[in-house]
Amino acid sequence: MIGKFKSLAILASVALLSTFVNAQQCGSQNPNGECSNSCCSQYGYCGTTSDYCGTGCQSSYGQCDSPSGGGSSLPVSSNGQCGSAQGTQCPSGQCCSQYNYCGTTSDYCGTGCQSGFGTCTSGGNIPGNPGNPVTATVYNKCTASNSFSLTFDDGPVSITNDLLDTLANKNQKATFFVNGNSNGCIYDHADVIQRIVNEGHQLAHHTWSHPSLPELSDDVIISQITLLETALRKIVGRVPKYFRPPYGAYDDRVLGILGNLGYQYIITWDIDSGDTGGLSADQSEQVYRDAIANSPSPNPHTALNHDTKPDTVYTVAPFAIDYVTQSGYSLQTVGECLGNGNDWYKETVSPSARDSTWTCT
Protein backbone atom coordinates (compact mmCIF):
# COMPACT_ATOMS: atom_id res chain seq x y z
CA MET A 1 0.00 0.00 0.00
CA ILE A 2 2.84 2.41 0.86
CA GLY A 3 4.39 1.73 -2.53
CA LYS A 4 1.09 2.58 -4.20
CA PHE A 5 0.90 5.97 -2.42
CA LYS A 6 4.50 6.73 -3.39
CA SER A 7 3.69 5.97 -7.02
CA LEU A 8 0.66 8.25 -6.93
CA ALA A 9 2.73 11.05 -5.37
CA ILE A 10 5.39 10.71 -8.05
CA LEU A 11 2.75 10.79 -10.80
CA ALA A 12 1.21 13.94 -9.28
CA SER A 13 4.61 15.65 -9.11
CA VAL A 14 5.36 14.75 -12.70
CA ALA A 15 1.98 16.09 -13.80
CA LEU A 16 2.57 19.40 -11.98
CA LEU A 17 6.06 19.69 -13.43
CA SER A 18 4.67 18.98 -16.88
CA THR A 19 2.16 21.79 -16.42
CA PHE A 20 4.95 24.28 -15.70
CA VAL A 21 7.24 22.99 -18.43
CA ASN A 22 4.52 23.32 -21.07
CA ALA A 23 3.50 26.80 -19.91
CA GLN A 24 4.69 29.99 -21.55
CA GLN A 25 7.70 31.47 -19.77
CA CYS A 26 7.59 34.98 -18.35
CA GLY A 27 8.81 37.32 -15.67
CA SER A 28 12.11 38.64 -14.40
CA GLN A 29 13.72 35.34 -15.31
CA ASN A 30 12.59 35.86 -18.93
CA PRO A 31 12.39 39.65 -19.45
CA ASN A 32 10.77 39.39 -22.87
CA GLY A 33 7.93 37.19 -21.62
CA GLU A 34 4.64 38.77 -20.55
CA CYS A 35 1.50 36.73 -19.91
CA SER A 36 -1.65 37.60 -21.86
CA ASN A 37 -4.82 37.38 -19.75
CA SER A 38 -3.09 35.11 -17.24
CA CYS A 39 -0.69 35.22 -14.30
CA CYS A 40 3.10 35.00 -14.20
CA SER A 41 4.18 32.70 -11.37
CA GLN A 42 7.12 33.23 -9.03
CA TYR A 43 8.90 30.54 -11.07
CA GLY A 44 8.44 32.38 -14.38
CA TYR A 45 5.54 30.57 -16.08
CA CYS A 46 2.10 31.75 -17.30
CA GLY A 47 -1.11 30.20 -15.99
CA THR A 48 -4.45 30.87 -14.35
CA THR A 49 -4.53 28.68 -11.24
CA SER A 50 -3.44 29.60 -7.73
CA ASP A 51 -0.02 28.09 -8.51
CA TYR A 52 0.47 31.03 -10.88
CA CYS A 53 -1.77 33.79 -9.50
CA GLY A 54 -1.10 33.43 -5.78
CA THR A 55 2.07 33.42 -3.73
CA GLY A 56 4.94 35.14 -5.52
CA CYS A 57 2.92 36.11 -8.60
CA GLN A 58 4.83 38.72 -10.66
CA SER A 59 2.31 41.49 -11.32
CA SER A 60 4.57 43.37 -13.73
CA TYR A 61 4.28 40.48 -16.20
CA GLY A 62 0.58 39.61 -16.02
CA GLN A 63 -2.46 39.47 -13.79
CA CYS A 64 -2.32 38.50 -10.13
CA ASP A 65 -4.77 37.72 -7.39
CA SER A 66 -5.50 40.52 -4.94
CA PRO A 67 -3.14 40.78 -1.96
CA SER A 68 -5.65 38.79 0.08
CA GLY A 69 -4.74 35.76 -1.98
CA GLY A 70 -1.22 35.80 -0.63
CA GLY A 71 -0.69 37.66 2.53
CA SER A 72 -3.25 40.02 4.12
CA SER A 73 -3.67 37.52 6.98
CA LEU A 74 0.09 37.17 7.40
CA PRO A 75 2.01 39.07 10.08
CA VAL A 76 3.59 42.36 9.02
CA SER A 77 7.35 42.22 8.54
CA SER A 78 9.46 43.79 11.29
CA ASN A 79 12.85 43.30 9.62
CA GLY A 80 12.28 44.47 6.05
CA GLN A 81 11.96 40.94 4.65
CA CYS A 82 8.82 39.47 3.10
CA GLY A 83 7.39 36.69 0.94
CA SER A 84 6.54 33.04 1.30
CA ALA A 85 9.94 32.07 2.69
CA GLN A 86 9.61 34.62 5.51
CA GLY A 87 5.88 34.14 6.03
CA THR A 88 5.38 37.90 6.32
CA GLN A 89 3.92 40.76 4.31
CA CYS A 90 5.23 44.31 3.98
CA PRO A 91 3.84 47.23 6.00
CA SER A 92 1.02 49.18 4.37
CA GLY A 93 2.11 51.05 1.25
CA GLN A 94 5.31 49.04 0.74
CA CYS A 95 6.11 46.53 -2.00
CA CYS A 96 7.65 43.06 -1.66
CA SER A 97 10.44 42.76 -4.23
CA GLN A 98 11.42 39.70 -6.23
CA TYR A 99 14.26 39.31 -3.73
CA ASN A 100 11.84 39.24 -0.75
CA TYR A 101 12.54 42.69 0.71
CA CYS A 102 10.13 45.55 1.45
CA GLY A 103 10.48 49.00 -0.07
CA THR A 104 8.76 51.75 -2.03
CA THR A 105 10.99 52.46 -5.04
CA SER A 106 10.85 50.81 -8.45
CA ASP A 107 13.51 48.37 -7.25
CA TYR A 108 10.79 46.86 -5.05
CA CYS A 109 7.53 47.78 -6.80
CA GLY A 110 8.50 47.05 -10.41
CA THR A 111 9.95 43.95 -11.98
CA GLY A 112 9.13 40.80 -10.01
CA CYS A 113 7.14 42.57 -7.29
CA GLN A 114 5.11 40.03 -5.28
CA SER A 115 1.58 41.40 -5.01
CA GLY A 116 0.58 38.72 -2.51
CA PHE A 117 2.88 40.23 0.11
CA GLY A 118 2.46 43.98 -0.42
CA THR A 119 1.41 46.58 -2.95
CA CYS A 120 2.86 46.62 -6.48
CA THR A 121 3.10 49.14 -9.31
CA SER A 122 0.00 48.44 -11.36
CA GLY A 123 0.16 47.70 -15.08
CA GLY A 124 2.20 50.03 -17.24
CA ASN A 125 5.57 49.50 -18.82
CA ILE A 126 7.89 46.71 -17.81
CA PRO A 127 11.45 47.96 -17.22
CA GLY A 128 14.15 46.28 -19.24
CA ASN A 129 16.21 45.70 -16.09
CA PRO A 130 15.26 45.24 -12.44
CA GLY A 131 14.41 48.50 -10.73
CA ASN A 132 16.20 51.62 -11.89
CA PRO A 133 19.83 50.57 -12.43
CA VAL A 134 22.66 53.08 -12.66
CA THR A 135 26.37 52.75 -13.25
CA ALA A 136 28.17 52.43 -9.92
CA THR A 137 31.31 54.56 -10.15
CA VAL A 138 34.12 54.44 -7.57
CA TYR A 139 35.60 57.71 -6.28
CA ASN A 140 38.60 57.61 -3.96
CA LYS A 141 38.70 61.35 -3.38
CA CYS A 142 36.94 64.61 -4.04
CA THR A 143 37.04 66.00 -7.57
CA ALA A 144 36.39 69.71 -7.01
CA SER A 145 39.54 71.80 -6.80
CA ASN A 146 40.54 72.83 -3.28
CA SER A 147 37.90 70.60 -1.68
CA PHE A 148 38.43 68.27 1.28
CA SER A 149 35.87 65.85 2.67
CA LEU A 150 35.97 64.48 6.21
CA THR A 151 34.09 61.18 6.37
CA PHE A 152 33.17 59.13 9.43
CA ASP A 153 32.32 55.42 9.35
CA ASP A 154 30.72 52.70 11.50
CA GLY A 155 28.35 54.77 13.64
CA PRO A 156 25.99 55.75 14.96
CA VAL A 157 27.17 55.47 18.56
CA SER A 158 26.56 57.71 21.55
CA ILE A 159 29.77 59.75 21.13
CA THR A 160 28.74 60.64 17.58
CA ASN A 161 26.67 63.32 19.32
CA ASP A 162 29.87 64.90 20.65
CA LEU A 163 31.37 64.93 17.15
CA LEU A 164 28.22 66.62 15.87
CA ASP A 165 28.62 69.23 18.61
CA THR A 166 32.19 69.92 17.47
CA LEU A 167 31.12 70.25 13.83
CA ALA A 168 28.33 72.61 14.83
CA ASN A 169 30.66 74.76 16.95
CA LYS A 170 33.11 75.01 14.05
CA ASN A 171 30.32 75.51 11.47
CA GLN A 172 31.50 72.63 9.27
CA LYS A 173 29.79 69.72 7.55
CA ALA A 174 30.85 66.08 7.21
CA THR A 175 29.65 62.84 5.66
CA PHE A 176 28.58 59.90 7.83
CA PHE A 177 28.65 56.36 6.42
CA VAL A 178 26.43 54.51 8.88
CA ASN A 179 25.79 50.86 9.70
CA GLY A 180 22.58 49.27 10.93
CA ASN A 181 23.80 46.72 13.44
CA SER A 182 27.58 46.71 13.75
CA ASN A 183 28.45 48.80 16.82
CA GLY A 184 24.99 48.57 18.30
CA CYS A 185 21.50 48.77 16.84
CA ILE A 186 20.74 51.83 14.72
CA TYR A 187 17.24 52.11 16.20
CA ASP A 188 18.81 52.66 19.63
CA HIS A 189 20.61 55.70 18.20
CA ALA A 190 17.81 57.05 16.01
CA ASP A 191 18.31 60.49 17.56
CA VAL A 192 21.87 60.57 16.19
CA ILE A 193 20.70 59.74 12.67
CA GLN A 194 18.06 62.46 12.96
CA ARG A 195 20.68 64.98 14.09
CA ILE A 196 22.95 64.12 11.16
CA VAL A 197 20.18 64.92 8.69
CA ASN A 198 18.64 67.85 10.56
CA GLU A 199 21.99 69.60 10.99
CA GLY A 200 22.83 69.44 7.29
CA HIS A 201 25.39 66.65 7.21
CA GLN A 202 25.35 63.98 4.52
CA LEU A 203 23.99 60.56 5.50
CA ALA A 204 25.40 57.66 3.47
CA HIS A 205 25.17 53.85 3.35
CA HIS A 206 27.81 51.52 4.84
CA THR A 207 25.84 48.19 4.96
CA TRP A 208 23.80 46.67 7.76
CA SER A 209 26.49 44.80 9.71
CA HIS A 210 29.84 45.70 8.04
CA PRO A 211 30.78 42.48 6.19
CA SER A 212 33.26 42.17 3.33
CA LEU A 213 30.88 42.18 0.37
CA PRO A 214 32.95 40.18 -2.17
CA GLU A 215 32.76 37.20 0.19
CA LEU A 216 28.93 37.17 0.22
CA SER A 217 26.30 35.76 -2.13
CA ASP A 218 24.16 38.11 -4.21
CA ASP A 219 21.14 37.60 -1.95
CA VAL A 220 23.09 38.36 1.22
CA ILE A 221 24.57 41.52 -0.32
CA ILE A 222 21.07 42.66 -1.25
CA SER A 223 19.94 41.92 2.31
CA GLN A 224 22.81 44.02 3.71
CA ILE A 225 21.63 46.93 1.58
CA THR A 226 17.88 46.70 2.04
CA LEU A 227 17.89 46.14 5.79
CA LEU A 228 19.67 49.46 6.31
CA GLU A 229 17.48 51.17 3.71
CA THR A 230 14.41 50.08 5.66
CA ALA A 231 15.83 51.45 8.92
CA LEU A 232 16.82 54.80 7.41
CA ARG A 233 13.45 55.10 5.72
CA LYS A 234 11.73 54.62 9.08
CA ILE A 235 14.03 56.91 11.08
CA VAL A 236 14.56 59.87 8.73
CA GLY A 237 12.75 59.08 5.48
CA ARG A 238 15.99 59.13 3.49
CA VAL A 239 17.62 56.40 1.37
CA PRO A 240 21.14 57.40 0.25
CA LYS A 241 22.59 57.06 -3.24
CA TYR A 242 26.16 57.22 -1.83
CA PHE A 243 27.73 54.00 -0.57
CA ARG A 244 31.01 52.97 1.03
CA PRO A 245 31.90 49.25 0.97
CA PRO A 246 33.27 47.97 4.29
CA TYR A 247 37.06 47.74 4.26
CA GLY A 248 36.94 49.41 0.83
CA ALA A 249 36.42 45.92 -0.60
CA TYR A 250 34.48 45.46 -3.84
CA ASP A 251 34.65 43.69 -7.20
CA ASP A 252 32.76 43.91 -10.49
CA ARG A 253 29.95 41.70 -9.19
CA VAL A 254 29.45 43.89 -6.13
CA LEU A 255 29.46 47.04 -8.26
CA GLY A 256 26.86 45.49 -10.56
CA ILE A 257 24.54 44.72 -7.65
CA LEU A 258 25.01 48.20 -6.17
CA GLY A 259 24.27 49.80 -9.53
CA ASN A 260 21.11 47.75 -9.94
CA LEU A 261 19.99 48.96 -6.52
CA GLY A 262 20.52 52.60 -7.48
CA TYR A 263 23.89 53.31 -5.83
CA GLN A 264 25.65 55.60 -8.27
CA TYR A 265 28.49 56.84 -6.07
CA ILE A 266 30.82 54.31 -4.43
CA ILE A 267 33.15 56.19 -2.10
CA THR A 268 36.53 55.06 -0.83
CA TRP A 269 39.35 57.38 0.33
CA ASP A 270 42.86 58.61 -0.37
CA ILE A 271 43.73 59.51 3.25
CA ASP A 272 43.31 56.95 6.04
CA SER A 273 43.66 58.39 9.54
CA GLY A 274 44.61 54.93 10.77
CA ASP A 275 42.32 55.17 13.78
CA THR A 276 41.20 51.54 13.43
CA GLY A 277 44.71 50.35 12.66
CA GLY A 278 46.22 51.09 16.04
CA LEU A 279 47.56 54.60 15.44
CA SER A 280 47.57 57.00 18.36
CA ALA A 281 45.90 60.40 18.12
CA ASP A 282 49.31 62.03 17.56
CA GLN A 283 50.09 59.59 14.76
CA SER A 284 46.73 60.18 13.10
CA GLU A 285 47.30 63.91 13.20
CA GLN A 286 50.66 63.36 11.50
CA VAL A 287 48.87 61.43 8.74
CA TYR A 288 46.97 64.62 7.92
CA ARG A 289 50.10 66.76 7.98
CA ASP A 290 51.98 64.38 5.70
CA ALA A 291 49.09 63.98 3.25
CA ILE A 292 48.65 67.70 2.78
CA ALA A 293 52.40 68.29 2.59
CA ASN A 294 52.70 65.68 -0.16
CA SER A 295 49.63 66.89 -2.07
CA PRO A 296 48.72 70.42 -0.99
CA SER A 297 45.81 72.61 -1.98
CA PRO A 298 44.25 72.81 -4.55
CA ASN A 299 44.59 69.00 -4.84
CA PRO A 300 41.35 67.49 -3.44
CA HIS A 301 41.17 64.77 -0.79
CA THR A 302 38.74 62.46 1.03
CA ALA A 303 39.75 61.31 4.52
CA LEU A 304 38.59 58.17 6.33
CA ASN A 305 37.84 58.38 10.06
CA HIS A 306 35.62 56.48 12.50
CA ASP A 307 33.23 58.17 14.92
CA THR A 308 33.32 55.01 17.04
CA LYS A 309 36.83 55.92 18.26
CA PRO A 310 37.09 58.34 21.20
CA ASP A 311 40.53 59.62 20.10
CA THR A 312 39.04 60.50 16.73
CA VAL A 313 35.98 62.23 18.16
CA TYR A 314 37.71 64.23 20.88
CA THR A 315 41.21 64.87 19.49
CA VAL A 316 41.82 64.03 15.83
CA ALA A 317 38.59 65.40 14.34
CA PRO A 318 38.89 68.86 15.97
CA PHE A 319 42.55 68.99 14.89
CA ALA A 320 41.73 67.90 11.32
CA ILE A 321 38.98 70.48 10.91
CA ASP A 322 41.31 73.29 11.96
CA TYR A 323 44.39 72.02 10.13
CA VAL A 324 42.61 71.35 6.84
CA THR A 325 40.90 74.75 6.75
CA GLN A 326 44.09 76.56 7.83
CA SER A 327 45.84 74.80 4.94
CA GLY A 328 43.53 76.59 2.52
CA TYR A 329 40.93 73.89 1.90
CA SER A 330 37.16 74.14 1.78
CA LEU A 331 35.62 71.39 3.92
CA GLN A 332 32.68 69.88 2.03
CA THR A 333 30.42 66.85 2.13
CA VAL A 334 31.23 64.08 -0.34
CA GLY A 335 28.25 65.05 -2.48
CA GLU A 336 29.37 68.66 -2.63
CA CYS A 337 33.01 67.89 -3.37
CA LEU A 338 31.98 65.63 -6.26
CA GLY A 339 30.02 68.51 -7.76
CA ASN A 340 26.54 67.22 -6.90
CA GLY A 341 25.45 69.79 -4.35
CA ASN A 342 22.97 68.30 -1.90
CA ASP A 343 21.58 65.64 -4.26
CA TRP A 344 22.40 62.88 -1.79
CA TYR A 345 19.35 60.61 -1.66
CA LYS A 346 17.63 58.28 -4.11
CA GLU A 347 14.46 58.29 -2.03
CA THR A 348 12.85 60.86 0.27
CA VAL A 349 9.68 59.91 2.14
CA SER A 350 7.99 60.74 5.43
CA PRO A 351 9.66 58.96 8.37
CA SER A 352 7.52 56.67 10.50
CA ALA A 353 6.65 56.80 14.17
CA ARG A 354 8.60 54.51 16.46
CA ASP A 355 6.85 51.17 16.91
CA SER A 356 7.62 47.52 17.64
CA THR A 357 9.40 47.10 14.30
CA TRP A 358 12.20 49.44 15.37
CA THR A 359 14.44 46.57 16.39
CA CYS A 360 17.53 44.81 15.05
CA THR A 361 16.49 41.36 16.29
Cα–Cα distance measured from residue 172 to residue 110, given in angstroms and rounded to the nearest whole number: 40
Q: Are 151 and 302 in contact (CB under 8 A)?
A: yes
Provide Rg for the chain, Cα atoms.
Answer: 24
One DSSP character per residue, 313-327 reads IIIIHHHHHHHHHHT
Contacts of 298 (CB under 8 A, 6+ apart): 145, 146, 328
**Interstrand relation of 301-306 and 147-153 (parallel, antiparallel or unpaired):** parallel
Q: Give CA separation, 309 vs 36, 102, 157, 293, 326, in Å.
A: 59, 33, 10, 25, 24
Prior bond to 211 cis, omega within 30? no
- Please say if 153 is a catalytic residue: yes
Q: Return d(Cα 114, Cα 42) in angstroms, integer.
A: 8
Give me the catalytic one of 107, 153, 275, 311: 153
- Which of 201, 205, 206, 306 is labelled catalytic? 306
Look up 306 and say whether it is catalytic.
yes
Residues labelled as active-site residues: 153, 306
